[in-house]
Structure 1
Amino acid sequence: MSTSSWFSLSFYLAAPFWALMILAPTWKVTRRIAGSPLIVLPALAVNLVLLLPLFADFWPVVSRPSLAGLQHLVSSPEALTALWAQIIAWDLFLGRWIYLDSRERGVHPLLMAPVMVLTILLSPLGFPLYLAIRLAYRQNSGVAGATARPVGRTMA
């Protein structure tokens, strides 16, 4: 399989989970699937397939990090694709946490959809945005059907 195919595959393996969390966030099946941290395994499998043959190249860079070492490492398409698959897996793991936490707090799915998309594209922006949104919501009481309300709002 070509490096380009592995690169694409890492995203395509994660995309169905993102689609469920964004397009069907209230579906029981989505909650059950996203409830498992194992959803990141397909992207991590791509990472491992590419990483293991290059382990001797990766180890010095991760054990004694340097900018020059990282630049040299990512000049290899295989190494860069392995890192890409790791990023895809990490973003999915982070998105999974955001999804589960937002559902528990009762944050409306229409508010969460753009946050989730931003997390897919640029998790360093999506994550702090969610943390800011999260401040406005208190934890759900755990009672079935209970809905969290933004802090400071009262029911009339």
Structure 2
Amino acid sequence: MTWELLFTLINAVVVPAWLLLFLGPTWRTTQIVVHSGIYPLALGSIYAICLIASLFFGVSSDGVGFTSIAGVSALFDHPNGVIIGWSHYLVFDLFVGAWIGRDAMRRGLPHLAVAPCLIATFIFGPVGLLAYMLVRFSRGQGISLFETGQDER
């Protein structure tokens, strides 16, 4: 498998999850597929395999490390490093998007107000989370991250 094909596949794999979050946040399929460990385990496995290959088997550029900007830059000089970084983004952005979906349902926020935040999270990661927190705040829901009845605004 080429690096380009792997990159294309990991991009394609997350699209169904995002479509489920956007189009059917309350569907049973969304609950089973998106809110389970399927995506973090699948993409996390790709991440772990590529990271191990980079750190222990030399599938990376010279000088890779996490203690300097030069070392991190060197990671992305190799296609394996790009896969590592990109799968990291995909896992965490989807995790945040799924949390936004669950949190919005718990709080009774209208999906039309949340959907643009999900799109922004899919495309721009933290910007979508920021947008969601602004939606929550503007609707009197605060910005607390408590998920139980202990909501401290």
- Taking structure 1 as the reference length, the TM-score comes to 0.78
One-letter identity of the residue aligned with 2:133: L
Moved more, 85-94 or 49-58: 49-58
Q: Aligned equivalents of 1:49 and 1:131: distance in 2?
A: 34
- Look up the match of 1:70: 72
Is this contact kept in 1: 2:10–2:87, CA < 8 A? Answer: yes
Structure 1 runs (4+) deviating above 6 angstroms are none
Is this contact kept in 1: 2:117–2:131, CA < 8 A? Answer: yes
- Taking structure 2 as the reference length, the TM-score comes to 0.79
Q: Aligned equivalents of 2:39 and 2:74: distance in 1?
A: 31
Partner SS, residue 61 of structure 1: coil
Tell me how many residue pairs correspond in the alignment.
Answer: 138
CA shift for structure 1 position 61 = 2.0
Aligned: 1:25 with 2:25: yes
Partner SS, residue 26 of structure 2: coil
- Look up the match of 1:13: 13
Structure 2: give runs of 5+ residues left out of the alignment. 143-147, 149-153
Greater Rg over alpha carbons, structure = 1
Structure 1: give runs of 5+ residues left out of the alignment. 143-156
- Look up the match of 1:153: none
Moved more, 72-81 or 42-51: 42-51
Q: Aligned equivalents of 2:91 and 2:78: distance in 1?
A: 20
CA shift for structure 1 position 45 = 2.0
- Percent identity for Structure 1 against Structure 2: 27
